[in-house]
Structures are given as C-alpha cells and as structure tokens.
C-alpha cells in the first residue's frame, strides 16, 4: 500500500532504518563543492557537487516520489529547468505549445530556443484540435494546466493519447497545482516541469526548478545535460525546498480554501467583470480538472471594469502584496501586463485574454476573512474616489 502524500512529503521510505547522518531529523546540508576519495578507483558515491550532492539528491528523490516519477532533477530555477529540457531537442524539431503560457517560457522559446533552430506553434490546447498542428518534424506537446494566467484547463489524458499515437513527448508544467493536487505522469505525460520557487518551496525565499520523468531514456539525456551545463540546485537551496515540501499539503489545502472563498466573493463585486477560477462550476474546464486532479489550486485571475481601477487596486493593497510570484504563504497580487507577460506582444496578450484590466491573485494561508476585509476596503476606497 502506497503511503499518503503528506507522509511522502516528510519521509523517504528507502532511507528509513539507516543510521546515516547521525540520526538528524532535518536532512543535513552538505555544503561542499568536492569530495575526498579513499584511493584511485574508489569513491564515496559523490565526486563533485555539480554532478551530485547528498542534499540535492535527497530532494530529487522526494519530488520524484511525489510525482510518481523514477527520476527528478533539481535545478537553479524553473526557467533553468525549461532551458535544460529544450536541450534534448535539435535544430529542425517542432513543438506544439499551449498559447497561454507563463511569459518567461514564451520569451525563452521565441528568443533562445528558436535561435537554436527549434520551431514552435502556439495552440489553445484546451480547445483546439491539437492533431491538426502535428507535422513530420513535431517532437512534443508542451502545456501548462491550469495555464498562467488565464486558467485554461487541458485534458492531460487526451493529450497523452494523441502524443503516444504520434510518437511525441507530452510535457506538462505542473507548477500551478503541484504534485499534491495533480500528477501528470500518472495520466500519461512523459515529463513534468515545476518552478520549485512556487508551491514546493512555498515561502518566497528561494529559487528552484524541477524536471521529473518516468522514462529512463529521457532521464539519461537530462543527467548528462545537467552535469555538462552546471545548472543544478545548490545544497542550501535544496534544503530550503526540502523544508518547504514538509508542509506542502497543509499549505495547499489552506490556500485553496481561501481561493474558493475569494473567488465566490469577487463574483459579487460590482467593480469585477470576470472571475476565472477552475474551482467554479461555471469554469469551462471544471469537469476536466475534477477528473484529473485532486483539487483546484489557489490561483485566481479576475478582470475589473477599467485599467484605472486595476492600477488603483495594486497601489492600495497593503497586507496583500503587489509582487511577481505565486505559491507562497503570503497572498500576492500580480499585474500580468507589466510583470509576468510584459515580454509577450500586446496583440498576443489580448488574443489570450490578458488585458490592462486583468489581475492575478495567488492566495496564501492568511485568515480568509482578513483577505476579504482588505479587498473590501480597497474596493470601497476606489468607489469613493470615482
């Protein structure tokens, strides 16, 4: 019988019963660059921390276990993870990519990966017939679900079937739901990406990224690449993510509770014209996310009636922080137009639904009533100054 997710966030079963690390409950930080060898041809199992480090290795095993993968690579950021993954493709390869992606991913694909000869087609993978975009050179489908920031939900199992039928990789960025709520590998995906900075770390205090797979051939390629490029996560940052993961389940449940509360409240506000949250029954992806995930997450996107009101909200919030990130214990509000998607051309942003009136909330673990009270005060002040 498999252990529960909360237990697996805390314990690596394969190490239990050993006397390693002097019995330390908190896994030690092996803050070393290199390792001594007893003699030629003998090793402690570690040679140089660019290749592997015990703290990083322990973290990788925890994350692989949470996602149901056989291997996980911990990298210096989410973008480092995506950049490394793109190195398994070669000039002339074509990828079908979800149109509504994090702006940093689009920036990488359009300005770096394309320069290296990789071709991208941006497609609404939640609605469009993805098979119509498959070419002879197509090698992979790359999605986020839910997407950033418009919360589009794609059917992972359906896309996995298409991928396998056409001998393609299915790559899923699972940052928004984390392995606590969703496991794409178990639905047929080949590779899962995470910005570990977000929900896995959960405290807005470090950067990290992960690539998880259950395919040995992909793992071998990625292990060679991480050794060669040196993009691995440092020991102390690995420990910070390990510490964050211990409370992943508690944080995800609490933040989701606040998101549901706020989404329902926002729908009733006159200043708000649209609320996009996959946990709302009217969301077009509601039934799909219920089928493939164990929760809806804590990300809300909403539109207000004017750009001026959007800017006023960002200026007036106090406890809720106007900042560019998500997944931490503190509630953050983000303005995609000038932050996460600033490098995406305006016509593409607007085509995807991102306007000057669009705001994104990452709900934290505060008391939900306090979050509502703050927004209620902000909205009231805006009404009084109009």
Give the residue numbers annotated as catalytic, written as ranges.
50, 102, 173, 198
- Whole-angstrom distance, CA of residue 39 vs CA of residue 185: 41
* Beta partners for residue 210, in sequence order: 74, 194
Closest to 194 measured CA to CA, from 69, 295, 307? 69
Q: What is the DSSP letter of 112?
A: I
Closest to 368 measured CA to CA, from 282, 254, 277? 254
- Write out the H or E segment, with its range, that includes residue 97: strand 94-98
DSSP string, 65-79: HHHT-SEEEEESSHH
> Could you tell me where the beta strands, DSSP code E, fall in 270-379?
272-276, 299-304, 321-322, 332-334, 358-362
- Whole-angstrom distance, CA of residue 124 vs CA of residue 96: 10
178 φ, ψ to 5°? 65, 165
- Whole-angstrom distance, CA of residue 61 vs CA of residue 210: 11
- Rounded to the nearest 10 degrees, the angle between the axes of helix 54-67 and helix 235-245 is 40
> Could you tell me where the beta strands, DSSP code E, fall in the chain?
71-75, 94-98, 119-123, 138-144, 169-173, 191-195, 209-213, 272-276, 299-304, 321-322, 332-334, 358-362
Q: Within 10 A of 376 (CB to CB), how many other CB atoms are there?
A: 12
Contact yes or no for 122/102 (Cβ under 8 A): no
- Whole-angstrom distance, CA of residue 245 vs CA of residue 179: 10
């Amino acid at each position: 019988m498999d252990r529960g997710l909360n237990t697996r966030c805390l314990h690596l079963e394969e190490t239990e019963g050993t006397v390693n690390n002097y019995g330390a409950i908190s896994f030690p930080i092996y803050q070393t660059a290199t390792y001594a060898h007893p003699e030629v041809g003998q090793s402690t199992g570690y040679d140089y921390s660019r290749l592997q480090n015990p703290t990083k290795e322990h973290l990788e095993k925890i994350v692989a276990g949470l996602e149901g993968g056989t291997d996980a690579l911990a990298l210096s950021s989410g973008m480092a993870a995506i950049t490394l993954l793109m190195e398994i493709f070669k000039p002339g390869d074509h990828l079908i990519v979800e149109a509504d992606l994090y702006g940093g991913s689009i920036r990488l694909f359009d300005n770096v990966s394309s320069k290296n000869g990789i071709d991208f087609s941006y497609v609404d993978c939640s609605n469009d017939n993805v098979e119509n975009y498959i070419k002879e050179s197509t090698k992979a489908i790359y999605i986020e679900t839910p997407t950033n920031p418009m919360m589009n939900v794609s059917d992972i199992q359906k896309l996995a079937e298409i991928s396998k039928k056409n001998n393609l990789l299915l790559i899923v960025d699972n940052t928004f739901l984390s392995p606590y709520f969703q496991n794409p590998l178990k639905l047929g995906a080949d590779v899962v990406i995470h910005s570990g900075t977000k929900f896995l770390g959960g405290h807005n205090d470090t950067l990290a990224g992960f690539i998880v797979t259950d395919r040995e051939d992909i793992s071998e390629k990625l292990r060679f690449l991480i050794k060669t490029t040196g993009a691995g996560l440092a020991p102390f940052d690995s420990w910070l993510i390990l510490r964050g993961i211990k409370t992943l389940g508690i944080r995800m449940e609490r933040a989701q509770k606040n998101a549901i509360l706020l989404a329902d409240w926002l729908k009733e506000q006159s200043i708000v014209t649209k609320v996009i949250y996959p946990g709302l029954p009217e969301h077009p992806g509601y039934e799909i996310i219920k089928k493939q995930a164990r929760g809806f997450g804590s990300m809300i996107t909403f539109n207000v009636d004017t750009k001026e009101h959007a800017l006023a909200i960002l200026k007036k919030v106090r406890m809720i922080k106007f900042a560019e990130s998500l997944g931490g214990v503190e509630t953050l509000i983000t303005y995609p137009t000038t932050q996460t998607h600033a490098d995406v051309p305006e016509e593409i942003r607007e085509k995807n639904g991102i306007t000057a009136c669009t705001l994104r909330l990452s709900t934290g673990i505060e008391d939900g009533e306090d979050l509502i009270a703050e927004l209620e005060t902000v909205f009231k002040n805006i009404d009084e100054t109009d």
